[in-house]
Amino acid sequence: MKLDELVITKAIVEGYFKKLMNCLELDVAIVGGGPSGLVAALELAKAGKKVALYERKLSVGGGMWGGGMLFNEIVIQHEAKEILEGVGVNVRPYEVEGYYTADSVEAVSTLTSKAVKAGATIFNALSVEDVVVDDEERINGLVVNWTAVEMAGLHVDPLSIHCKYVIDATGHDTEVVRVVARKMPGRLFTATGNIEGEKFMSPDRAEKLTIVNTREVFPGLYVAGMAANATFGGPRMGPIFGGMLLSGAKAAREILSKI
Ligand code: 48F
pLDDT tens-digit map of 232-243: 999 988 889 999
Instruction: Measure the CA–CA gap between 178 and 4, rounded to whole angstroms.
Output: 47
Confidence (pLDDT) at 44: 98
Confidence (pLDDT) at 238: 83
**DSSP 8-state secondary structure symbol assigned to residue 234:** P
Question: Where do the H-state alpha helices sit in 56-215?
Answer: 81-86, 104-118, 147-152, 175-183, 203-212
Please return the burial class of 243, using the count of CB atoms within 10 Å of its CB with bins 0-12, 13-18 and 19+.
buried
Q: Is the pLDDT of residue 8 over 90?
A: yes
Check if 242 has its Cβ closer than 6 Å to any atom of ligand 1.
Answer: no
Angle (CA) 201 98 76, round 5°: 50
The enclosing H or E element of 145 equals strand 139-146
Confidence (pLDDT) at 130: 98
Check if 234 has its Cβ closer than 6 Å to any atom of ligand 1.
Answer: no
For residue 8, report the distance from its CA to the centre of ligand 1, in Å: 33
Check if 240 has its Cβ closer than 6 Å to any atom of ligand 1.
Answer: yes
CATH fourth-level superfamily of 26-257: FAD/NAD(P)-binding domain (3.50.50.60)
Q: What is the mean pLDDT of residues 211-216?
A: 97
Measure CA 79 to chain center.
Answer: 20
For residue 145, report the distance from its CA to the centre of ligand 1, in Å: 17
Mean pLDDT score of the chain: 97
For residue 24, give the 3-state DSSP assignment. coil
Check if 31 has its Cβ closer than 6 Å to any atom of ligand 1.
Answer: yes
Residue burial 109-124, b: 16+ Cβ < 10 Å; e: rest: bbbbebbbebbbbbbe
Q: What is the mean pLDDT of residues 211-235?
A: 97
The enclosing H or E element of 53 equals strand 51-55
- Band (pLDDT 50/70/90 cuts) for residue 219 is very high
Q: What is the pLDDT of residues 73-110, one digit of tens each?
A: 999 999 999 999 999 999 999 999 999 999 999 999 99
Instruction: Measure the CA–CA gap between 248 and 225, rounded to whole angstroms.
Output: 7
Confidence (pLDDT) at 237: 85
**DSSP 8-state secondary structure symbol assigned to residue 136:** T
CB 45 within 8 A of CB 252: no
ipTM: 0.99
From the CA of 126, give the closest atom in ligand 1. Answer: 35
Confidence (pLDDT) at 228: 97
Q: What is the pLDDT of residues 15-65, one digit of tens each?
A: 999 999 999 999 999 999 999 999 999 999 999 999 999 999 999 999 999
Q: What is the mean pLDDT of residues 178-207?
A: 95
CB 10 within 8 A of CB 3: no
Q: Is the pLDDT of residue 2 over 90?
A: yes
For CA atoms 21, 25, 31, 35, the dihedral sign is negative
Confidence (pLDDT) at 129: 97
- What are the backbone dihedrals phi and psi of residue 258, each rounded to the nearest 5 degrees, phi first? -110, -20
Measure CA 99 to chain center.
Answer: 24
Segments making up each domain of the chain, as ranges: 26-257
